[in-house]
Structure 1
Amino acid sequence: MDTNYLADLRALSQTLNFSRAAELRNITQPAFGRRIRSLEAWCGVPLVNRRQMPISLTTAGQIMLDAAEDVIGRLERARREIEQNQTATASLVIAATHALSFNFFPSWINSLGAEAATHPLRLLSDNMEHCEKLMLSGDAQFLLCHAHAASPTPMRSPEFQKCVLARDRLIPVCGRDSNNQPLYELPGTAERPTPHIAFEEGSGMARILTSVLFNRRTDLHLSSVVSSHHAMTLKSLAMEGKGLAWIPESLARNELKESGRLVVAGGESWHVEVDVALFRTSAQLGALAETFWQLAQDTAATGMSWHL
């Protein structure tokens, strides 16, 4: 069977129209129709219900579409892996969350020494959701992010491996008054909830905080005033006195000094320990990426005990 037929079926499922699907596939409509009929002949059953408008996939068609998506995905991943293995000068591609791209990555990559400096490297900085998509699609070989065992993530074993590079923690911070006391207090009350500058729902940090803290503290009363994917945005708004935010301690450290504009707004029970972790797929990577992974593991083994 020609695997192009699988892509044809996917295009038809997206458009539910033979003419538009043929345009997507850059072939004529008669040729497209013949290819769909050839696929139906191979399956032995109709895949498309042509008696109604718009057309729809039959039950068999939906089953075949699910299989087609899986096969197309596997073939694309295989092609990328082959290209990586055959290209000795292939770049390393690391997807990293915004906070770690600015605050951790430069010093960490420098700590790997001269050997890492010889590797051509692309850093793709984005929010956690997009970084995960880059990993799952195979467009990045590594993911650098904050992680917690209780937080939901698609980066689970056995499909993915994890190397803990450092430790950090998420702490509640806010602006300080003239007496260097917090402008806002935890846990707040039902009548006067604490203004909360929050990570965007679904972001990596929000997942961690929700799983480890928010879902477990019935005494916590927060009122969201603004949300963002960017830890730097949360930090800036907290400095301006807009509310309280949980951000990485490593990001807040300078502003927590006596001359700074932030103060910790809660005791240890409100702090969340997190890992700074590097993820990779468990599948074999190219030689360059495998060498880099081993270097990252060796370096972590000698210096992982420190906090950021």
Structure 2
Amino acid sequence: MNLSWLEDFLALAASGNFSRAAEDRHMTQPAFSRRIRALEEWLGVVLFDRSSHPATLTDTGDWFRSVAQEILGRVARVPDEARAVADASSATLRFASTHALSFTFLPEWLRSLEARTTVGPIQLVSDVLQHCEALMLQGRVQFLLCHWHAQVPGRLAPESYRSIRVGSEVLLPVSVPDKQGRPRYALTSSSKTRVPILAYSAESGIGRVVRALRGAAIEKLHAEPVFTAHLASVLKTMALDGRGVAWLPARLIEQERAAGLLVEAGGTDWQMQVDIRLFRSVQAAPAAAEAFWQAATQAAAH
């Protein structure tokens, strides 16, 4: 038996119309009819009463409808179940982390956890937040490390994903300095010249925070986006080149600020305090992942 015959059967059972069902299944009516007949011959029973219009299920056909649905549902679950079996015996931790945290926070944080638990092999995907969230929703990673703010909702519903605060970060608006050491581009309402903004794309988690918390204030300024990118590291490079103001994680620009290469372009009102949070599914995880989560939770509590 071909599994696609079951999908053909369910399509016809839903409409009772051979032409419509054949169209839904992207084939000609004669070819569709042959496939239904082949299924009946394989079962050795008649599934449809063709004397009525539309065609109706026989008693056997009505019984077989639930069987077909159950078989297709079982087949659809096989890949997820196979991955679950593989995960259960795997010690590899699968992480997604935003680019900025992958470079600045993750290495030191992992070292601190190694004092509490054995951290085995790690498979890391470093990407923009939107893609990292998608990996979590698809079940392809066990953990997500990202910036987070209570006023900026993400895609991971609290009833399905839990999180812990593992650190904090300040997002600072920075610019190259002028000859007097002041910001070349300042975020002030009295500015008579345009303020070029180095903006984040819609896929960026930091961009999501900046737009939600400071978007309205930026619009009130004589400001305009002159460059847009996914990554904080790219905007950092553009800021160092004197292209405009960028909101960057303080950890990412420690050396540049210490050397006077970048200075704050606005007062504390323009800063944003955000959490660094670790997300996971509420579903049970393999033993290695559960042990890691417990160690991370204990570390966060202290």
TM range (shorter): 0.7 to 0.9
Cα contact 2:11–2:24 (8 A) shared by 1: no
Amino acid at match of 2:297: Q
Aligned length: 260
> What is the match of residue 80 of structure 1?
83
Q: TM-score, normalised by structure 1?
A: 0.75
Cα contact 2:239–2:245 (8 A) shared by 1: yes
Amino acid at match of 1:278: L
* Change over 3 Å in CA distance of 1:151–1:44 after alignment to 2: same
Q: Aligned equivalents of 2:108 and 2:132: distance in 1?
A: 21
Written as runs of structure 1 = structure 2, the 5 A alignment for 1:32-43 is 32=4, 34-40=5-11, 43=14
Q: Aligned equivalents of 1:287 and 1:50: distance in 2?
A: 47
Q: Aligned equivalents of 1:248 and 1:177: distance in 2?
A: 22
Written as runs of structure 1 = structure 2, the 5 A alignment for 1:15-164 is 32=4, 34-40=5-11, 43=14, 45=16, 49=20, 55=26, 76-85=79-88, 87=89, 89-114=90-115, 116-164=117-165
Amino acid at match of 2:9: S
Q: TM-score, normalised by structure 2?
A: 0.76
> What is the match of residue 219 of structure 1?
220
Q: Aligned equivalents of 1:119 and 1:295: distance in 2?
A: 13
Amino acid at match of 1:49: R
Q: Aligned equivalents of 1:72 and 1:193: distance in 2?
A: 60
> What is the match of residue 65 of structure 1?
none
Aligned-residue Cα RMSD (Å) equals 3.1
Amino acid at match of 2:84: E
> What is the match of residue 301 of structure 1?
301
Question: Deviation per CA, 1:288-308, whole angstroms, max 9, x where unpaired?
Answer: 111100001111111xxxxxx
Residue 204 of structure 2 corresponds to residue 233 of structure 1: no
Q: Secondary structure at the match of 1:154?
A: coil
Q: Aligned equivalents of 1:285 and 1:185: distance in 2?
A: 48
Amino acid at match of 1:38: F
Q: Which region of structure 1 is more displaced relative to structure 2, 152-161 or 276-285? A: 152-161
* Change over 3 Å in CA distance of 1:55–1:221 after alignment to 2: farther
Structure 2, unpaired ranges of 5+: 28-70
Structure 1, unpaired ranges of 5+: 6-31, 57-67, 303-308
Residue 144 of structure 2 corresponds to residue 173 of structure 1: no
